[in-house]
Amino acid sequence: MAAAHADYLRPEGAFTHGDDRVRIAGEEGVLEIRGGHVYYSPETGMPGEVELEPEANVFEAFARSLEGHCEPPVTTEESLYTTAAALIAREAADMGRTVRFEEFGW
């Protein structure tokens, strides 16, 4: 079972403005995101904050690679393969049948 609540119309000056959270409960415990932090409460044991690695920003990495500061986050081959997959998927949808990469030389 799951529930979702989106409160888009709460006034900015309301006491509860910005108290958004996500809670996921399962057989092994509860994971909760609130106030910019992640907490895990296991089925047994003490709850605590989970330290997460910052997520890399792919657009920033791409811009930095253009400036020569690092390698691109996606190789040319990966980019072309993804583009081919999208085009082949569109072709399959237009033709109404399964299309294999090999049909297009991939």
pLDDT digits (tens, 9 = 90+) for 53-73: 887 788 899 999 999 999 998
Q: How many domains does the chain have?
A: 2
Range of the domain at 78: 58-104
Residues 42 and 82 in one domain: no
Q: What is the pLDDT of residue 80?
A: 92
pLDDT digits (tens, 9 = 90+) for 22-43: 888 888 899 888 878 899 999 8
Question: Positive or negative CA dihedral for 43, 24, 34, 73?
Answer: positive
- Global pTM reads 0.42
Residues 7 and 35 in one domain: yes
d(CA 83, CA 79): 6
Residues 96 and 74 in one domain: yes
Q: What is the pLDDT of residue 23?
A: 85
Residues 48 and 62 in one domain: no
Residues 48 and 66 in one domain: no
Domain endpoint, select from 13, 33, 52: 52
Tokens linked to 106: 């991939």
Residues 68 and 39 in one domain: no
